[in-house]
Every structure is written in C-alpha cells, then in structure tokens.
Amino acid sequence: MPIEMKLWQKEGEALQPLNPGKLESEQQLEEWIASDASLISPDILLIGKQVQTRYGGKIDLLGMDEEGNLVIIELKKDKTPRDVIAQALDYASWVRDISVEKIESIALEYLKEDLESTFSGKFGTELPDELNLSHKIIIIASHLDPTSERIVKYLSEEHDLDINVVFFSCFIDNDGKTLIGRSWLMEPEAVEDRAEQKKGRRVRLTVEQFGEIARSNGIGDLFDYLYEKLLPLSAGKQNTKTTIRFTTHVEGGKKAFISIHPKESSDQVGLKTDIRPERIADAFSVDLKKVKDALPGRGENEEGLVYGEFHYFKTINEIDKFIDLLKNTGK
C-alpha cells in the first residue's frame, strides 16, 4: 500500500495531528535539493542539473557518492508514476557507459570548478582512481500509486537494482507554518546492500590479495618492497578494487602522492604506479626537478592520466632512489 506520513504536534499533554498540506510544485523540490542535497543524503555531491543524455532526455539532477559512483535523481513532477520509473531506467542505461572525461565535463559545467577539488572538499578524501563503477536511482515524489511502488520494490528486491523512492510530504502546524517531512519507500541501506552483493560493488582488495596478484604477475618482490618502504612515509593508505593509494598532507587535506597498480603490472613492464610529482614536491619540501629525476621510466604508448603520471619500477635500485628522495627531505 502507498507510504503515508503523519505528524503530530504536542499541545499540553496531548498530541494533535497536523493537517496535511500541499507542495506548491515538485519543481520547488528540485530547487531545494539542488541547493542542499543533504535533504536526500549527506553522502551525495551534486555534479549536474538537467543533464542532457545521448537519447534526448535530461536527467533532473546527477550526483556522485564517496565511492565515485553516480546517482540519478529524477523528480516525478508532471510525469505519471510509471513514466518517471521508465525514464529513470532509460537514463541509467546511458549513465552506465559514460566516460570519466564526460563526467568531469558535466561536473565542470555545473560546479564551475574541477571535480577533484570539489570532491575532496565535500568528502575530505581524494577522488577515486575509478569512477562510475556502478550507479543508483533515486525517484523524488510527494506520492506514488500502489502499482508504481510495487514495481520499484520488485526491481530492488528481485533484481537487486539500486533504486529507491524518497517521499516529501507537507504539513501545516497549529501556527500556520509549513513543515516538510521525508520518508523512504525502502530502507536505503538494505537496498544498497542487495545491489552490492549482486554486483560485488565496493569490494576492496586486501594487501595480501594485491600481493598474490603481484606475485602471479612476476613482480611480487618489487610490490612487497615498495609497499613496506612507503608505509612509514605516508599519512595513510586506501585500497580499492585495483590500486593501493598512499596519502600525504598536502593542499589542505590528505591526498594521494603515489598509487600502486599490481593488476596492470608484469615482469616485462615492471610495477605500475601513478605518481603525483607536484604533490611530492610540495608535501616533502623538495625541488620538483629532483622529484622527476628520481622517478623510474614511463611506459610506452601510455595515454596518461587526467591527473598524475604512470611510472614503472623495474628494479629495487629504482625504488631505493625514489624512497631516498622522500626520506632525505624536509618532511
């Protein structure tokens, strides 16, 4: 049955039910959420509004969570409940395949600054190496019919799709003030857990698992040696599905200065790393030229990164040269 929210106001020792009101328009909801995404969740960074898709439609609001996954936020507005569900699914089919470059372009147009800086300011951590590994759909409405609610629950509970509905309800208190309440069709954590178990999302490999991958790729000794040398020189580390990132205090926060990529390494090319020379120079108080001189070779035919540079360690001596630079600075 449809979700129904009720509010009461304490009058003396009794509780008096508040009269339901009516939102002037669901367009107003879009403006409120665009101004403050925490109305839905504190863990969403909005990166786009009225985002044009390749199929002709426009996503009302596009967000990103702390994992770098995209969040499609679609308001019912003047659409029928079934139409808004179908439209959100259509948008998800487009979002699934958009590139990192497209995401950054959308964010730059909306935020008026680069995504990396805004993400770091919002979440206090660095933008993940991998973006858009998965996505979720949030439908915003003041109400849905029972059939539409049943469809959304079916998609989540039977097909493990990360889809949910947020209801905003309006009430008038005894002083004539307007109050806004929020409720979810399903418990958000339960929806996310089902989707994660289905898709294996947010699976971070352990150091031991990365070590096994490195050994199978013929660079186990290099991986173990670099990992052990970096630990005491870093402010922390973060494992993802594909990398280990080592952070340092720089640019007003903790940001990665080197990431190790065991999966993309081999005994032929060496141990692949993503190194940020400018951050190393700043954080470890060393001349940028000296940093670059201490780096190992770059790979052939590399397209490069949006941020940072790929470098490949092939010998223990190359690692020692790099580590000695970090140890013998003003850090």
Mean pLDDT by 10 residues, the chain (331 residues): 73 87 76 91 94 91 93 85 89 90 92 90 81 91 87 92 90 86 87 74 78 96 97 88 86 82 92 92 93 85 48 96 85 46
**Residue 260 and residue 188 share a domain:** no
For residue 2, being part of any structural domain is answered with no
**Residue 280 and residue 131 share a domain:** no
What pTM was computed for the model?
0.64
Which of 164, 162, 161 minimizes the C-alpha distance to 148? Answer: 164
For residue 109, being part of any structural domain is answered with yes
Domain finish residue from 157, 181, 199: 199
**Residue 244 and residue 221 share a domain:** yes
**Residue 176 and residue 284 share a domain:** no
**Residue 218 and residue 176 share a domain:** no
Q: Who's near 1: CB < 8 A, 6+ residues apart?
A: 146
Domain finish residue from 168, 199, 230: 199
CA 141, CA 76: separation in Å to the nearest integer?
Answer: 5
Q: What is the CATH number of the domain that holds 155?
A: 3.40.1350.10
**Residue 240 and residue 161 share a domain:** no
Angle (CA) 22-27-30 rounded to 5° is 110
**Residue 298 and residue 240 share a domain:** yes
**Residue 193 and residue 217 share a domain:** no
For residue 226, being part of any structural domain is answered with yes
**Residue 317 and residue 223 share a domain:** yes
For residue 3, being part of any structural domain is answered with no
For residue 301, being part of any structural domain is answered with yes
Q: How many domains does one find in the chain? A: 2
**Residue 167 and residue 304 share a domain:** no
For residue 53, being part of any structural domain is answered with yes
- Tokens coding 59: 């996503």
**Residue 255 and residue 274 in contact, taking contact as beta carbons nearer than 8 Å:** no
**Residue 182 and residue 51 share a domain:** yes
Structural domain span for residue 55:
8-199
What pLDDT score was predicted for residue 78?
67
Domain finish residue from 199, 221, 239: 199
In SS3 terms, 166-219 reads as: EEEEEEECCCCCEEEEEEECCCHHHHHHHHHHHHCCCCCCCHHHHHHHHHHCCC
Q: How far is CA 172 from CA 24, 25, 317, in A?
A: 13, 16, 72
Task: Give the position of tokens 């915003």.
Answer: 140
For residue 100, being part of any structural domain is answered with yes
What pLDDT score was predicted for residue 152?
94
> Length of the chain, please?
331
Instruction: Tally Cβ neighbours within 10 Å of residue 163.
Output: 25
Following CA atoms 98, 160, 197, 192 in sequence, which dihedral angle do they give, to the nearest 10 degrees?
A: 80
**Residue 319 and residue 246 share a domain:** yes
For residue 42, being part of any structural domain is answered with yes
What pLDDT score was predicted for residue 213?
96
What pLDDT score was predicted for residue 173?
85
